[in-house]
Structure 1
C-alpha cells in the first residue's frame, strides 16, 4: 500500500489522537504539515501549510506531525523530524504514520523514537468536507522524546504501546 500512497494528502487526524498528544507533551508548538482547517483541531501555536513548504522551514519545540503519506514525501518529513530532534531544535514529537514497518523511512524514524503505539483500529481520518475516510491500512503513532512513560499511559487507551529499545 505504501508505494501507492500518491493521492489526496488532505486527510486530518481524529481529535482523540491529538488530545492524547497534547496531554503527553503539554501542548503543541508546531504542526509542520498542516492547514488552517486542520489546526482548528490541532491548535498548534505555529503551523506550516503546503504553501509554506514546511520542509524548508525550521522545526522547533513540541511537534505534532501527520505527514503527507504520498511516496516521496513521508520519508522527507520523517527524516527532517529526526534531524531536528537530534540537533536539539525539537524537544519532543508525536508522529502519526502508516505502519509501514518494512520501509527505510519507518526504520529511521523508530531509530530516534522512545515509544510507539499501534492503534487497535485503523485511524478514520477526516476529509476537508468533514467526512470520515475509509482507511486502507493500519497506522503507528511514534513518540520521540524523554517522556515515553506518559506517552504509553495516554496512548494505551487507543492501542498497543511499547517502549523502543
Structure 2
C-alpha cells in the first residue's frame, strides 16, 4: 500500500478537509477525528486521538474524515450504525469496507471531481493526494446536503 500521503517516516501526518468544502455541507455536531491543536474545526464538538473518538458515543450530525489505512473499516462501520453523518474517504470502491459499509448502507455518495488538496495540522495546503476522494452520506438529510452542496463531482443516490 502506498502510504506516502498518509504517513512519512517517524511522523504521523493528519490531513484535514479544506474548511470551504465542509462549510458547503452544513453544520456538524461532532467530528470524532479532529487533530490536536487543529488550525480550524469542522464541528461543535471535536474528539482528538487523545480522546479516542472511535470508542466514544457519537451524537447528532457527524463529519468524519477518518484515519486512512488499517482500521478505516471500523470508523465507517460506526458511522453507518450511527446513521447520521457524512464521511470523506478515498474513492477505493473495490475495498471490503466499501462493500460492507457503503454500497448497501449509505444513502448517497459524491465522487469529487479532481483531487482534493488537504491541509496539514499547521494550516498549510498540501500537494496533490495519491487518490481521488468521495463523500459518503448516511441519512436522508445528509444525502440532500451532499446533493445540494455545490461541490463539483458526480452525485449518486443509493437509496431510491
The bucket for the TM-score relative to the shorter chain is 0.7 to 0.9
1:132 partnered with 2:125: yes
Unaligned runs of 5+ in 2: none
In the alignment, structure 1 segments of 5+ residues that lack a partner are 86-91
In the alignment, is residue 105 of structure 1 matched against residue 97 of structure 2? yes
Distance between the aligned counterparts of 2:21 and 2:129, measured in 1?
15
User: C-alpha displacement at 1:17, in angstroms?
Assistant: 1.6
Deviation of 1:39 (Å): 6.9
Q: Does 1:14 align with 2:18?
A: yes
> Over residues 88-138 of structure 1, what are the superposed CA-to-partner deviations in whole Å (9 max), with x where a residue is unaligned?
xxxx20100000101011222322211110111101001112222221110
Q: CA, structure 1 residues 37+160, in 2 after alignment: closer, same or farther (shift >3 Å)?
A: farther
Write the distance in 2 (CA, Å) between the matches of 1:99 and 1:16: 20
Q: Note the C-alpha offset of 1:46.
A: 1.1
- 1:118 maps to 111
TM-score by length of 2: 0.85
The size of the alignment, in residue pairs, is 150
1:127–1:107 CA distance, 2 compared to 1 (3 A):
same
* Aligned CA-pair RMSD: 1.8
Contact 2:31/2:46 (8 A) holds in 1 = yes
Question: Using the alignment, how far apart are the partners of 1:93 and 1:39 within structure 2?
Answer: 22
Matched residue, 1:74: 72
Partner SS state of residue 137, structure 1: coil
| Distance in 1 separating the partners of 2:38 and 2:25 | 15
Within-5 A mapping of 1:10-159: 10-22=14-26, 27-38=27-38, 40-42=40-42, 44-69=43-68, 71-85=69-83, 92-110=84-102, 111-133=104-126, 134-147=128-141, 148-155=143-150, 157-159=151-153
Query: Could you say if the C-alpha distance between residues 101 and 48 of structure 1 is closer, same or farther in structure 2, counting changes exceeding 3 Å?
Result: same
TM-superposition CA deviations, 1:44-95 (whole Å, max 9, x none)? 12111000111110011100000011x222111111111222xxxxxx2010
